[in-house]
Chains A and B, each alone.
Chain A
């Protein structure tokens, strides 16, 4: 439930929390923990996205457009699997996390991005949007920029999810927040919208491989759905600044976890 709550809040799958919780606290086999976690990602994503899309916080066009990069990235990652050592990947991943955490901290006071130029590509793709902010109590119009760097980050995010079997919601949020200059709420809601699709592709494989144990996945999926429902209610009322500050410790935590994994091999 906690995983669903945090996941829906921050646009992540919640796998970061589920895997260590199941393996360390409940002593579940790593293989089944990952299988359950991929189900969790889909549950969080679909549950949260249903609410965010209805409340018009999700930018559907940005999501659909970027999914082109995440899905091809995931497919590329699946092909590359085994060609690189996981230790190297995890080290790169950790370094990128630390860098992103710093980028986010620098922007910690920015409630809404301002003076974002309307690029021709973003115009053509109709990526600009608006949403009603319940914390600010007004309609927020925003422009989208950095379409190409955004797409590149999503491709990398896709490769990582294909290689390491993670939802990589972290990268998706970062790409939209840092490069495309979307409001933080729009970034997390749109990330939630997208991770379900990335995860569904890998979930089919895990399912066929027999990594999804019904006895473990069933209670976890139900708990996460409840958590995600609660999370969406809180997120819409939070300020963008608060949301970003909640994000940073999770980034740092993941970076440390990855670094430790890379070090230990």
Chain B
């Protein structure tokens, strides 16, 4: 499935991507260059962000599948009725005992962490591009996220 989709999107190449970019005139009827001289590097950043999201999703899905498989195979959650791990320490303790619910919870926690990780990695990506304005914007978003996690923990 993955292969097929890549072929379809490969039918066009980004006009600013690849070594030919410098000699290619802008497509006809297109507006004047938007002043984004760094478009070639944005290309890399998109791949970078896309990959970090994809890996986050794949890893968490794999962990959830393993945990769900364990649950179906053993028929036991590893916890008393109506109880399940709610903190990282619970999850880690449960993992050591290979409790199915703990494995699923780890997968779900990884899934929750994926967008947060994406914001964090964007800071690095914008920094590599030398885009200070957006490094600032992304750091701000990351800080607010961390603050909400912290306040959520404290209040809940």
A residues sitting closer than 8 Å to B (CB atoms) are 39, 42-43, 45-47, 49-51, 53-56, 58, 60-61, 64-65, 67-68, 71-72, 74-75, 78, 123-126, 128, 132, 139, 141, 143, 196-197, 199-205, 207-210, 212-215, 217-219, 221-222, 225, 229, 233
Chain B residues positioned under 8 Å from A68 (CB to CB): 137, 140-141, 144
Contacts of B42 in A (CB 8 A): 60
Residues of A within 8 A of B68 (CB): 218-219, 222
Task: Name B residues whose Cβ lies closer than 8 Å to a Cβ of A.
Answer: 1, 5, 9, 12, 14-15, 27, 30-31, 34-36, 42-43, 45-47, 49-51, 53-54, 56-57, 61, 64-65, 67-68, 71, 77, 84-87, 100-101, 104-105, 107-109, 111-116, 118-119, 122, 133-134, 137-138, 140-141, 144-145, 147-149, 151-153, 155-156
* In the complex, chain B residues whose CB is within 8 Å of the CB of A217: 104, 108
Q: Closest B-chain residue to A53, C-beta based? A: B50
| A81, closest chain B residue (CB) | B155
Residues B151 and A50 in contact, CB atoms below 8 Å apart: no
Interface of B is mostly: helix
Determine if A204 and B31 form an interchain contact, defined as CB atoms under 8 angstroms apart. no
For B36, B67, B145, the residue with the greatest tally of chain A CB atoms inside 10 Å of its CB is B145
Checking A58, A75, A222 against B144 with a beta-carbon cut-off of 8 angstroms, the contacting residue is A75
Nearest CB in chain A to that of B56: its residue: A46
Contact assessment for B112 and A67 in the assembled complex, using a CB-CB cutoff below 8 Å? no
